[in-house]
Amino acid sequence: MTPLVRSRNALATDELPFFFDAVHIALAERAREFAMTVAAPEEDGNRRSAAATYEQLGERCARIALKLGKERLIDACVPASFGGLALGSRRDQIDVRAVCLLRETLGWASALSEFVLAMQGLGSFPIVVAGSDALRKELLPPVLRGESLAAFALTEPEAGSDVGALRSTAERRGDEYVLNGRKTFISNAGIAGHYVVFAKTDPAAGNRGITAFVVKSTDPGFSFEGPQMLVTEHPVGTVRFDNLVIPASRRLGREGDGFKLAMRTLDTFRTTVGAAACGMARRALDEALFRATTREQFGKTIAENQLIQGHLAHMATELDAARLLVYRAAFGRDKGTERVSIDASMAKWYATEAAQRVIDLAVQIHGGAGVLRGIAVERLYRDVRALRIYEGTSEVHQIIIARVLTGGERARQEARIPGDAGDSLRQTAIDRPHSDTSKTVETPAMLAPPSKPATRPTPKRPLVAQRTAEEAMRKTMPEIPAQKRPLGRETMPDTPATKLLGKASRRGEPDDNDPGASSDGSKN
């Protein structure tokens, strides 16, 4: 039997050429090179050993970030106007297809590398959109170079899906704010140089009382409470703020705009979570095809059994369906179609759920070998699980999709009920790139069934007008020149990430950023 084995070296752009431009194909090539030569060996070398401590995990993230920065791959997470990647003529926006391609390709090779790249985007996007010029100039270049890790701190013990329930406060005192509160499940907790923190400036105003700030790990009053160890290698933990004083210049946007900023950030990145899931599923399919066509039982390869063929057909079809949804959403976002939110929710929900099913079948095809600690499908099985939870759970995305379908979007635009769980969900269901909910009327109309079901609502403001306003805003912002080349170690700023690396090299561990360094710390 001649197996139809998808090439491990296939470009992520090969099968969906209609979604991509030449620049994407070139970027995918660079991403693949990085995935094969850097990310995959790094992953394989580390995952075979016993579970890492949180500190070791932090060191790995810091090393990976430097490598991604050196190859200028993080640039894709920041618009060109702010020092990021220039793709075509769109200098003021992230190219979502580019981020998807990177996350998919890295996801194939190493979930941790894929995560590190994504966090640099998630933790810097609110600064790009709403930070002062000084903040952008200070914080974005080290993030792009991978010298400082970024974090996005929204979730709290009592506020998960229901963002409006968050309890952290930011009290204004003259030219300063005093922050108090606690954030849980924060990726890069304890290793990030800065955190985009969402806190209530007006606790009585529900979601409209939320404001975003930048908190630095060096701020007095900031503390890392500890890690939350997961089933997979993913640094997550709890941070707290005790009478933490920051200047008002660290506020992102206006008071009360934090919720919109958080949702806009998530709206931009959630399609890319689907892409990461596709990368992991694709790897699982590759591994399963290899196993099925080489493992013999009952005198023939297991791939010759129709039940196994059914599994493979199922996996390949689910993966292709997921990729079509992901790249349709990314393409729509880049081209400014009106279906942005529903497409992003469909893509994120379907791709992450499908990836879980594909990976589970890959484990099944491997038999006992599928649950051996450290082999590819076993770690994929653990890696993929959280993708169905963060950046909107699968349930939240189904609600968003259904509300848009049933006319809930119109109601969302006409009604806001501050503070309730549905408010978060409605706000997430923005069916266009950038929302303007400032003119909405507070009425419980949202609770009533939609009067005209199954008709697509017309956005109140034309999309083009919205984009024009966005462009005008961008034009008033001075540009940060793109980095010429990555800085050398000697010029690196003192960040938690570089400190971790310093610690590692003092312990005699190899510095993967320096190709000439041997494991005893000396140069070859």
Ligand X SMILES: Cc1cc2nc3c(=O)[nH]c(=O)nc-3n(C[C@H](O)[C@H](O)[C@H](O)COP(=O)(O)OP(=O)(O)OC[C@H]3O[C@@H](n4cnc5c(N)ncnc54)[C@H](O)[C@@H]3O)c2cc1C
Could you list the residues that contact ligand X (CB under 6 A)?
152-155, 160-161, 185-187, 230, 234, 236, 386, 389-390, 393, 395-396, 399, 421
Q: Which long-range contacts (CB under 8 A, 24 or more apart) does 382-386 make?
A: 382/231, 382/232, 383/111, 383/232, 383/234, 383/280, 384/111, 384/277, 384/280, 384/281, 384/352, 384/355, 384/356, 384/359, 385/231, 385/232, 385/356, 386/230, 386/232, 386/234
The residue among 187 and 352 lying less far from ligand X, judged by its C-beta, is 187
Chain mean position to CA 295 = 36
Q: Shortest gap between Cβ of 258 and ligand X (angstroms)?
A: 12
Q: How far is the CB of 290 from ligand X (least distance, A)?
A: 29
Residues in the chain: 524
Residues 377 and 358: beta-carbon distance below 8 Å: no
User: CB-wise, 87 or 197, nearer to ligand X?
Assistant: 197
Between residues 13 and 265, which has the closer beta carbon with respect to ligand X?
A: 265
Query: Up-side HSE of residue 496: CA atoms within 13 Å toward CB?
Result: 22
Q: Is 185 left (phi over 0), alpha (psi -120 to 50) or beta?
A: left
Name the residue nearer to ligand X (CB basis): 141 or 160.
Answer: 160
Secondary structure letter of residue 415 according to DSSP: B
Q: Are 426 and 416 in contact (CB under 8 A)?
A: yes
- Least gap, CB of 158 to ligand X (angstroms): 8
CB nearer to ligand X: give 35 or 425: 425
Pick between residue 82 and residue 185 the one whose CB is nearest to ligand X: 185
Q: How far is the CB of 482 from ligand X (least distance, A)?
A: 27
Catalytic residue chosen out of the listed positions 43, 287, 391, 409: 391
**Which class for 485: exposed (0-12), middle (13-18), buried (19 or more C-beta within 10 A)?**
exposed
Question: What is the per-residue DSSP string for 99-123?
Answer: HHHHHHHHHHH-HHHHHHHHHHHHT
372 phi, psi to nearest 5 deg: -75, 130
The two tokens of residue 101 are 């391609």
Phi then psi for 487, rounded to 5 degrees?
-75, 155
Q: Which residue is nearest to ligand X (CB)?
A: 160
Cα–Cα distance, 44 to 210 (Å, whole number): 42
Q: How far is the CB of 166 from ligand X (least distance, A)?
A: 9
Q: Shortest approach of ligand X to residue 88 CB, angstroms?
A: 30
CB-nearer residue toward ligand X: 23 or 421: 421
409 is catalytic: no
Q: How far is the CB of 262 from ligand X (least distance, A)?
A: 8
Residue 7, number of CB atoms within 10 A of its CB = 8
Identify whether the C-beta of residue 445 lies closer than 8 Å to the C-beta of residue 395.
no
| Residue positions annotated with a catalytic role | 391
